[in-house]
């Protein structure tokens, strides 16, 4: 007897693999951990922070605590948000803010007393009356704030014009060049975006946003040499993770659109930039598996496991890659860890796959998986039944009989009990 009865016939919708790429889209979220400070660096309590964007159905409103702190979580880090800071006695501050992808960015925002003017070369003291068009501060700051407001309202042409005007009035206003570069990057004018970011960095070499925009502009514009130089600058200030996360999500988007080649290229770029990042190895392993490249999938999964030995997704792909390439040792190593880390998955998904192998007349392959299923759940009757029959079919009769006996102890009224009794009564 080499087939189970209909009661145990299991149809699998998928082999023991998980769609890693789809899960990665969750990394589009980002958080801003802000601190609002006075001109002397002391925190300001009670500042109202209003966050708006075209895609938000309503504004987000936060209030700073005694330490001047507030935190905002953004579901879509690909967006530019508009932050307005207001408190009686202080100039209103308007700023475009781009959150990091898949992480938290700490930022300081400086408010100036009503009587104080903006610090030279910085929009941090930009003033605007609550609820109206910005009119306070220097002409450059007013133009800059007009650009922020226009961008918030979706008038990108006016915003770009205002940012250019601000930069012309005050050539040392780095933020105007940075804001303009960010807008140009969104419009895919990569060459001009890079040029504006470079200008911002000649004014303020520590402008993190300009560093990020410069890197993305060169990379997306195809200038690999300058992109590598920009990546080096980001790495030196420890800010490459955000850039790597953005490229990762570009790979996710490409995969979702069916562009596998671009997705693979993007994920390889992430590995080059951030070789310690586990997600791109796992994603590439999943893509390789779906493309039928089991050996490559196994290699990528093992690279991920070198960085994170208990990554269950990598373990599942490693198992699939190993069994498809006939690497029994690697398959068993993956299953050993999965029994410890995800016994429920082994007792359900792996069991279903083992049952399919059994029904497809592959008893030896079914035996390997069923043995691990029973390590995860020693009291699973159907696993004992299938393993018993599979062992008998592969010539390991004595072991098979033990499992059939256990099956009858656990499920004496099971529809397959009669088959088990028949096998046990048979004397070769």
pLDDT digits over 367-386, tens only? 999 999 999 999 999 999 99
Q: Is residue 410 part of a domain?
A: yes
Consecutive H or E run containing 62: strand 60-63
pTM above 0.75, yes or no: no
Q: Is residue 404 part of a domain?
A: yes
Q: Is residue 427 part of a domain?
A: yes
Strand, coil or helix: 240: helix
CATH number for the domain spanning 366: value is: 1.25.40.10
**pLDDT of 77 higher than 90:** no
Q: Mean pLDDT over residues 274-303, rounded?
A: 92
Strand, coil or helix: 365: helix
- The number of distinct structural domains making up the chain is 1
Task: Domain of residue 379: give its range.
Answer: 342-428
Q: Is residue 127 part of a domain?
A: no
Answer with the residue of higher pLDDT: 64 or 187. 64
Strand, coil or helix: 68: coil
d(Cα 315, Cα 125) in Å, to the nearest integer?
52
Give helix 224-236 / helix 240-256 axis angle, nearest 10°.
130
Q: Is residue 359 part of a domain?
A: yes
Q: Is residue 392 part of a domain?
A: yes
Give the pLDDT score at 16.
Answer: 33
Of the chain, the end-to-end C-alpha distance in Å amounts to: 14
Give the pLDDT score at 172.
Answer: 87
Q: Mean pLDDT over residues 259-286, rounded?
A: 88
Least confident of 75-84, 188-197, 288-297: 75-84
The radius of gyration of the chain's CA atoms, rounded to the nearest angstrom, is 30
Q: Mean pLDDT over residues 309-333, rounded?
A: 94
Q: Is residue 382 part of a domain?
A: yes
Q: Which two tokens stand for residue 102?
A: 């898949």
d(Cα 105, Cα 30) in Å, to the nearest integer?
8
- DSSP secondary-structure letter at 37? E
Give the pLDDT score at 284.
Answer: 94
Q: Is residue 285 part of a domain?
A: no
Answer with the residue of higher pLDDT: 135 or 98. 98
Strand, coil or helix: 94: strand
d(Cα 29, Cα 326) in Å, to the nearest integer?
40
């Amino acid at each position: 007897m080499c087939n189970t009865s209909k009661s145990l016939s299991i149809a699998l919708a998928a082999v023991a693999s998980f769609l890693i790429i789809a899960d990665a889209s969750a990394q589009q979220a980002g958080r801003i951990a802000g601190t609002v400070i006075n001109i002397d660096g002391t925190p300001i309590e009670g500042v109202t922070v209003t966050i708006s964007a075209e895609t938000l159905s309503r504004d987000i409103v936060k209030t700073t605590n005694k330490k001047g702190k507030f935190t905002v979580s953004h579901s879509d880090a690909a967006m530019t948000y508009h932050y307005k800071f207001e408190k009686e006695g202080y100039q209103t501050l308007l700023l475009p803010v781009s959150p990091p992808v898949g992480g938290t960015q700490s930022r300081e925002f400086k408010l100036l007393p009503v009587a104080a003017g903006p610090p030279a070369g910085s929009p941090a003291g930009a003033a605007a009356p609550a609820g109206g068009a910005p009119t306070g501060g220097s002409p450059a700051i007013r133009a800059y704030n007009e650009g922020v407001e226009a961008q918030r309202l979706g008038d990108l042409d006016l915003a770009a014009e205002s940012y250019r005007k601000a930069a012309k009035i005050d050539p040392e206003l780095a933020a105007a060049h940075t804001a303009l570069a960010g807008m140009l990057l969104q419009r895919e004018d990569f060459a001009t975006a890079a040029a504006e970011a470079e200008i911002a960095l000649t004014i303020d070499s520590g402008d993190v946003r300009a560093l990020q925009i410069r890197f993305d502009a060169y990379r997306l514009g195809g200038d690999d040499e300058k992109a590598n130089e920009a990546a080096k600058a980001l790495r030196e200030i420890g800010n490459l993770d955000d850039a790597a996360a953005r490229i990762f999500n570009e790979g996710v988007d490409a995969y979702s659109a069916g562009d596998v080649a671009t997705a693979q290229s993007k994920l390889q770029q992430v590995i080059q930039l951030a070789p310690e990042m586990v997600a791109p190895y796992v994603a590439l392993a999943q893509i390789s598996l779906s493309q039928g490249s089991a050996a490559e999938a196994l290699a990528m999964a093992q690279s991920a496991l070198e960085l994170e030995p208990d990554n269950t997704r990598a373990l599942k792909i490693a198992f699939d890659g190993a069994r498809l390439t006939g690497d029994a040792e690697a398959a068993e190593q993956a299953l050993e860890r999965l029994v410890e880390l995800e016994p429920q998955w082994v007792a359900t998904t792996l069991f279903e796959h083992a049952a399919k192998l059994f029904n497809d007349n592959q008893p030896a392959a079914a035996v390997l998986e069923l043995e691990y299923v029973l390590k995860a759940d020693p009291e699973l009757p159907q696993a004992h039944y299938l393993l018993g029959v599979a062992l008998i079919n592969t010539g390991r009769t004595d072991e098979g009989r033990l499992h059939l006996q256990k099956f009858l102890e656990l499920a004496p009224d099971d529809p397959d009990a009669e088959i088990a009794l028949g096998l046990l009564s048979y004397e070769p």
